[in-house]
Amino acid sequence: MTARILVVEDNPLNLKLVRDVLEIAGHHVVEACSGEEALRIAQDAAPDLVLMDLQLPGMDGTETMRKLRQGLLEDDTPVVAVTAFAMAEDRERVAQAGFDGHIAKPISVRELPDLVTGYLTKGGRGDG
């Protein structure tokens, strides 16, 4: 399946890596380098899935996610946190903040396409 995926990531190398892997998997990638940029382009991009880095300069990932949810995304578009915090407490925090899921950094090139497919086929938010 092919999906439109909004990737919010401030580090250009990481952004490039995620983009390449997802594009090879057949997805269309829209890039945003900051939370602010994500908010600007979200409506036009109309993504099926958002991958959100948590540590962003300026507006952080959690806040960006909350703002996106206020009408800039379709109601059933999942927003998944991408973070280097791998501890249980971090996963808990991410879930409590309202993300639909969590992908740990460093991302596994082999596993990323499958993870993304998983979120896309869950049929939207709520059961992640």
- Give contact residues for another protein (rule: CB under 8 A): 11, 13-14, 17, 20-21, 24, 55, 84, 87-89, 105-110
Per-residue H/E/C for 79-107: EEEEECCCCHHHHHHHHHHCCCEEEECCC
Nearest distance, CB of residue 73 and another protein, angstroms: 27
For tokens 């300069």, name the residue.
57
Nearest distance, CB of residue 107 and another protein, angstroms: 6
User: Which CB sits closer to another protein, 75 or 89?
Assistant: 89
Count Cα neighbours of 39 within 13 Å in the Cβ-side half-sphere.
16
User: Which CB sits closer to another protein, 67 or 105?
Assistant: 105
Q: Looking at this protein, which amino acid is placed at residue 127?
A: D
Nearest distance, CB of residue 44 and another protein, angstroms: 28
Give yes or no for a contact between 23 and 47, defined as CB atoms under 8 angstroms apart: no
How is residue 123 annotated by DSSP? T
User: Which CB sits closer to another protein, 22 or 42?
Assistant: 22
Nearest distance, CB of residue 109 and another protein, angstroms: 4
